[in-house]
Amino acid sequence: MKLSSVKYLADQGVENIWKNKMMAFATFCVLLISLMLVGISTLFYININSMINGIGGRNEIAVFVNKDTPQERVDALGEELRSLDNVASVEYVSKDQALDNMISSMPEYEVLFASLDGDNPLVDGFSVTVDDLTLISETVTEIQLKSDIYLVRASYDFVEFLLELRRIVTMIAGAIIIALAVVSMIMISNTTKASVFARREEIQIMKYVGATNGFIRTPFFVEGMVTGLLAGIGAFLITWLGYRAVFNMLTEQTGLMNVIGMGSLIPFSQIRIYVLISYILAGSFIGAMGSVISTRKHINV
């Protein structure tokens, strides 16, 4: 096909959007809603998973050092812990700092702490966070093999709860996203079929006068692609505004963010380019292919 013919057919496709603006608008709305349903569900899952990871990142392994261990050995032990594969961070907690933390967290026992009369019964230690919660048991075993370690504590029940929660959320979110995708495809298919059916006589006349299948389908392809492109951009803008509003509302809740972790929610600025590309590609592809496939029945005359 000549370049001039392609340009002509592309112009016809764009022009058909205006000529059939009611059906084009209906297709636009269905595509817009379908893209948003799947897109928002996916973003919701990503953030829920990120929050679970954020809570998991606050689950720490408490490592206590033998009493009267020289400070040089304590410092060396900290470096050994940091060198372990699954360790994300290591924070040294001196026995004086640990006692201060305990006093500030339990003010009702002020008299009891005062009775210590400067004698600190606690030991130095480390607060260790891991990269992968599923490997926390192996990490604890590695720490226990280190010399001068008095005790290692990890909340295995909490870790198992988080892992099970992540598995359940993944299954439920995956099922919802797949169901929404199927429903969206059915809605889009019915809408494009209705749009093409309304112009079936136009297609049949073009076929009778000798137009090739490619000549007939190209304007519909362009029309569907442009409509899908516009729907993708519209879905992106609405998602952006809605996401930003919810993100700002949640981040203003200091208590909630302290529980789930300040870095758990993903700012839209970090993912907007991926969301935009996904919306545009999905909208353009579904719109174009839906229009082309829907013309097949009326081309075969």
Q: What does the pLDDT look like over 43-75, one tens digit per residue? A: 888 887 777 766 666 667 888 888 888 888 888
**Claim to verify: residue 72 and residue 207 sit in the same structural domain:** no
**Claim to verify: residue 14 and residue 78 sit in the same structural domain:** no
**Claim to verify: residue 173 and residue 127 sit in the same structural domain:** no
pTM over 0.75: no
Domain containing residue 238: 3-56+161-299
- Out of 154, 186, 205, pick the residue that ends a domain: 154
**Claim to verify: residue 227 and residue 279 sit in the same structural domain:** yes
**Claim to verify: residue 100 and residue 239 sit in the same structural domain:** no
In the chain, the percentage of residues whose pLDDT exceeds 70 is 70
**Claim to verify: residue 258 and residue 190 sit in the same structural domain:** yes
Residue type, 292: V
- Out of 135, 154, 173, pick the residue that ends a domain: 154
Above 60 in pLDDT, residue 257? no
Please tell me the total count of domains within the chain.
2
The stretch 263-279 carries a mean pLDDT of: 85
Above 70 in pLDDT, residue 83? yes
**Claim to verify: residue 120 and residue 208 sit in the same structural domain:** no
Q: What span, in angstroms and rounded, lies between the C-alpha atoms of 227 and 223?
A: 6
Above 90 in pLDDT, residue 233? yes
Local confidence band at 240 (pLDDT 50, 70, 90 cut-offs): very high
Phi, psi of 253 (to 5 degrees): -85, 90
**Claim to verify: residue 171 and residue 103 sit in the same structural domain:** no
Above 70 in pLDDT, residue 111? no
Sign of CA dihedral 178, 184, 186, 192: negative
- Out of 101, 124, 154, pick the residue that ends a domain: 154
pLDDT at 286: 83
**Claim to verify: residue 100 and residue 68 sit in the same structural domain:** yes
CB 13 within 8 A of CB 218: yes
Average pLDDT, the chain: 77
**Claim to verify: residue 182 and residue 224 sit in the same structural domain:** yes
Least confident of 208-212, 288-292, 297-301: 297-301
CATH number at residue 150: 3.30.70.3040
Above 60 in pLDDT, residue 2? no
Most confident of 90-104, 227-241, 253-267: 227-241
Above 60 in pLDDT, residue 290? yes
CB 207 within 8 A of CB 297: no
Above 90 in pLDDT, residue 137? no
**Claim to verify: residue 13 and residue 64 sit in the same structural domain:** no
**Claim to verify: residue 70 and residue 201 sit in the same structural domain:** no
How does pLDDT run across 186-205, given as a tens digit for each residue? 766 676 666 666 666 766 77
Q: Which residues contact 134 (CB under 8 A, 6 or more apart)?
A: 163
Q: What span, in angstroms and rounded, lies between the C-alpha atoms of 80 and 84?
A: 7
Above 90 in pLDDT, residue 277? yes
